[in-house]
Amino acid sequence: MNGQTPIIVLAQRSPEWFENSYGRVPKCQVFEKENFNTDAPFHPRPRELTIASPSDRELNPFIQCIVHLIDKGADVNLVSDKGSALHIAAENGDLLLVELLLKKGARPSITCYPFNHTPLHCAAQNGHLGVVRTLLLQKDVDIDARSFRSERPVQMALEGGHTAVVEFLLTRGADVTPTFGLIHPDHYILACKAAEMGLRKELEMILGAAPSDGYQRQLDGALTGAARGGKIDLLHDLVQMGANPTHSYLDKAFSWSPLTAAILAGKSESIEALFQLMDAQTQAEEASIALVAAVEKRNLALIRKLVEEMGADINCKDEREFSPITRATQWGIDDIVDYFLNFQHLDLLAPSFNGKTPESFVDNIRNEDIRNRLVSRIMDQKLNSRTGA
């Protein structure tokens, strides 16, 4: 049972137990054994234990049994692989059980493994506003508590689309400035995610709570989110508010430009809208940076558009210092490699940030003719670089 004690099992209020026991009265005497260990791992299903209040399905069906066990000495703060009883109650929105556990000594900021979530994380992630309110009334509960993955309650509520919880946390002072998910390709700031989801009210609150020296970062982040979410009206509104359609809102090694974000998300409407906001020179510059994203999407038609219509430089490296030809070779995209080989000025020797060049990945090209052409061009460029030709 991985450390699951009786109160942890009962806090989970199994639907099977719930349905089978509906309409009965709980019988706690099943635990009335001499020297009963209230904290021992618990496996047998106590079929005698039944619902405490048949008329109220919001009430945990075993709440009286949980009270009985705690009064008998069960440790309310033991943590299993599913968290503590308070984590489970918060996750389920079991408000009455949350209040009971707090009164019985449950620590409101207790953490569980593997991610170090608090009960507030669990409640926010699942949209349980009543539980969130109750937990924030407790002493020493951190509204911005960070998990091992740097997740915060307001972020988890936003990702789950629980707008009422997001709004409540923002009114209570939740920090809007952190960057989330840096270990994942979809990292973002809060304004970015709100805009991506089209949550205008929440976005307005986030921008309103942003510190003056961080407002532009939030605004630019929101524009990237709108582009990624295909929210064209919001995109135009953000530009009117001062968002820059060409800026990455973080250090470029850790974030995408709005155009790159739109390409990776496959939002053609956003791509067109962003290009309409740029002059010809800016179009070429932004298309060049975003070219690798089009390679990643394996979208040859878009690559042609970026190069032949927007003036993208085929040798321009992206935000992570990879050239389009290096990525196309690395990913074994034969038709795109074939397309780039048509350009005589294609640079096949420029290394990426980790020193890799197309030569490092030639074996990934399945078409023998394309692979041979690629190797021949690489050898020619190496020879020319040595002779100075």
**Residue with tokens 């940030």, as numbered in its chain:** 353
User: Is it true that the peptide bond before 114 is cis, omega within 30 degrees of 0?
Assistant: yes
Going by pLDDT thresholds of 50, 70 and 90, the confidence category of residue 37 is very low
**pTM (2 d.p.):** 0.77
For residue 13, what pLDDT band results from cuts at 50, 70 and 90? low
Q: Are 179 and 209 in contact (CB under 8 A)?
A: no
Do residues 340 and 333 lie in contact, with contact meaning Cβ atoms separated by under 8 Å?
no
Residue that has been written with the tokens 């939030």 in this structure = 218
Could you give the domains of the chain?
1-107 (1.25.40), 302-389 (1.25.40.20)
The tally of CA atoms less than 13 A away on the side-chain side of residue 136 is: 22
Q: Confidence band (pLDDT; 50, 70, 90) for 54? A: very low
Pairwise CA distance, residues 153 & 147, whole Å: 9
- Is residue 252's pLDDT more than 60? no
CB-based contact 298:333 (threshold 8 Å): yes
CA pair distance 366, 204, nearest whole angstrom: 50
pLDDT (tens digit per residue) in 105-118: 999 999 998 889 99
Residues above pLDDT 90, as percent of the chain: 60
Query: 324 versus 20: which is more confidently predicted?
Result: 324
Residue 290 has pLDDT above 60, yes or no: yes
